[in-house]
């Protein structure tokens, strides 16, 4: 019995081996005729027994499977198959297919990147992201592919945000920097500035054909990556994760005012205006010459009813940029809003002598506030006489003041 069992077992192995060879022959023939689908079907017929084959047969099988998958644009399948070839031959010490496979993997990297460019141009952002990630897997030293994969995923919108987060986190774990040195020089003959690679840059420095050579290092992308992680979490409503991401980014980049601004905006979206105000003040201290920061500080103070603080912020912004239209309009509005609050109080007064006296006092104060607001806009008109927003607000103020002469003057300026 034992002899028969051994004989049957041996026959079984032999039959499996013959089946594999038949399928491999059929796949080879199909590939030569250009029928990659038939080749893949033939190989799938032997897939259940291939793990029991010897290393040489396995390597040949996966090399063919990689070729068939590649021709069918199944990049994942091709990559997995080719990598199995390399692994099998490294283990066995017999490298018959590895060199050819490595060359094909290298070619695939370029094909994937080119296909991703086409996908991005056709707004197939998710497909582009996947292909760029595959290119990165094939060439891990080229981390720029992973960076572009994340960017493509972001462009794909909310449905692809989780994919983008995965890629950005991998970049962060890899401590991706993304900065590079850009080389340029001025062509003496044309006077135009041209971009150069490092080799050409060094070569042209030895000639008289170029001048004004420049080397510029681009900023690191580390802060951008963590910021994007936070922004995606914010878009997804995951505010705690977003705040943690900002904290991490700010710990690594304490001088990056944009991180402070983005964190402040998150608190604003969450309804925590006090924290927003605190962070905006911190950002202002970090970049005292940034009028946008000061403008935003003014906006939040105005929303909270802190008119004096709002005015101080707007005035600082205007000291930096006297033509900052929105700051001018809002500075004027602080006076108008405060005056309007007095109108409500005036309307609630009675008809007694004391109420009448109070009414006159409030009206005089209101008129003074409205005139302050008008004065801001009149000053603004000297630099921007055709600004319709300023003119419209100025017309409304003069109308509320009952100043018919200036009201008609401004209407004429508007063209009414």
Domain range list for the chain:
21-121, 181-217, 290-416
State pTM to two decimals: 0.60
Task: Please report how the helices 273-286 and 291-303 are oriented relative to each other, as an axis angle in degrees rounded to 10.
Answer: 160
The set of residues, in sequence order, having a beta carbon less than 8 Å from that of 105 and lying 6+ positions away, is: 79, 82, 83, 138
What is the arithmetic mean of pLDDT over 309-327? 91
Helix (H), strand (E) at residue 77 = helix 75-92
Report how far residue 161's alpha carbon sits from residue 230's, in angstroms, rounded to the nearest whole number.
11
Give the per-residue pLDDT at 122: 95
The set of residues, in sequence order, having a beta carbon less than 8 Å from that of 187 and lying 6+ positions away, is: 193, 194, 209, 210
Give the per-residue pLDDT at 8: 38
**Structure-model confidence comparison of residues 98 and 410, the more confident one:** 410
Residue 2 pLDDT more than 60? Answer: no
Give the per-residue pLDDT at 252: 77
| Closest listed residue to residue 113, CA positions, set 141, 142, 84 | 142
Under DSSP, the state recorded for 254 is T
| Residue 330 structure tokens | 């809002």
The answer to whether domain 21-121 and domain 290-416 are alike in fold is yes
Q: Is the distance from CB of 265 to CB of 239 less than 8 angstroms? A: no
Q: Is the distance from CB of 187 to CB of 149 less than 8 angstroms? A: no
Q: Could you tell me the pLDDT band of residue 11, with boundaries at 50, 70 and 90?
A: very low
Q: Which string of b and e fits 117-152 if b means at least 16 CB within 10 Å?
A: eebbeeebbbbbbbbbbbbbbbbeeebbbbbbbbbb
Alpha helix (H) ranges present in 122-271? 125-138, 143-155, 161-173, 198-204, 222-235, 239-252, 257-269
Q: Could you tell me the pLDDT band of residue 233, with boundaries at 50, 70 and 90?
A: very high
Report how far residue 65's alpha carbon sits from residue 234's, in angstroms, rounded to the nearest whole number.
43
Give the per-residue pLDDT at 14: 37
SS3 196: strand
Report how far residue 172's alpha carbon sits from residue 116's, in angstroms, rounded to the nearest whole number.
23
Residue 12 pLDDT more than 60? Answer: no
Give the per-residue pLDDT at 376: 92
- For 239-245, the CB contacts below 8 A with 24+ separation are 239/266, 239/270, 242/266
Domain 21-121, CATH among 1.25.40, 2.60.120, 3.10.450, 1.10.150: 1.25.40
Give the per-residue pLDDT at 238: 93
Helix (H), strand (E) at residue 207 = none
Give the per-residue pLDDT at 1: 40
State which fold the 290-416 domain adopts: 1.25.40
Give, in degrees to the nearest 5, the angle at Cα 251 between 248 and 255.
125
Q: Could you tell me the pLDDT band of residue 86, with boundaries at 50, 70 and 90?
A: confident
Give the per-residue pLDDT at 329: 92
């Amino acid at each position: 019995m034992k002899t028969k069992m051994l004989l049957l077992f041996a026959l079984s192995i032999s039959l499996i081996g013959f089946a594999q060879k038949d399928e491999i022959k059929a796949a080879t023939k199909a590939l030569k005729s250009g029928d990659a689908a038939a080749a893949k079907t033939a190989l799938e017929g032997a897939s259940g027994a291939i793990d029991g084959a010897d290393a040489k047969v396995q390597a040949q099988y996966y090399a063919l499977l990689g070729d068939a998958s590649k021709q069918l644009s199944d990049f994942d399948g091709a990559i997995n198959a080719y990598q199995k070839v390399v692994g099998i031959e490294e283990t066995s010490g017999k490298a018959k297919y590895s060199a050819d496979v490595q060359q094909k993997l290298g070619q695939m990297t370029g094909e994937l990147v080119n296909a991703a460019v086409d996908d991005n141009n056709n707004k197939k952002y998710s497909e582009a992201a996947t292909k760029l990630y595959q290119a990165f897997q094939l060439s891990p030293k080229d981390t720029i592919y992973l960076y572009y994969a994340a960017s493509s995923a972001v462009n794909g919108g909310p449905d692809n945000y989780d994919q983008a987060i995965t890629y950005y986190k991998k970049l962060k774990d890899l401590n991706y920097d993304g900065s590079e040195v850009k080389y340029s020089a001025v062509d003496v003959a044309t006077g135009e500035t041209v971009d150069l690679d490092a080799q050409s840059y060094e070569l042209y420095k030895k000639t008289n054909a170029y001048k004004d050579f420049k080397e510029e290092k681009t900023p690191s992308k580390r802060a951008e990556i963590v910021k994007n992680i936070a922004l995606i979490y914010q878009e997804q409503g995951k505010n705690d994760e977003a705040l943690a991401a900002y904290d991490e980014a700010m710990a690594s980049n304490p001088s990056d005012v944009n991180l402070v601004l983005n964190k402040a905006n998150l608190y604003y979206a969450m309804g925590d205006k006090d924290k927003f105000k605190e962070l905006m003040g911190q950002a202002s201290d970090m970049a005292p010459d940034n009028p946008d920061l000061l403008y935003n500080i003014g906006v939040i103070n105005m929303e909270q009813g802190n008119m004096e603080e709002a005015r101080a912020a707007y005035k600082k912004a205007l000291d930096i940029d006297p033509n900052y239209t929105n700051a001018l309009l809002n500075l004027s509005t602080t006076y108008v809003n405060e005056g309007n609050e007095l109108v409500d109080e005036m309307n609630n007064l009675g008809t007694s002598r004391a109420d009448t006296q109070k009414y006159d006092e409030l009206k005089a104060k209101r008129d003074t506030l409205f005139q302050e607001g008008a004065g801001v806009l009149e000053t603004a008109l000297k630099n921007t006489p055709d600004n319709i927003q300023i003119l419209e607000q100025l017309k409304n103020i003069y109308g509320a003041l009952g100043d018919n002469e200036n009201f008609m003057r401004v209407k004429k300026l508007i063209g009414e």
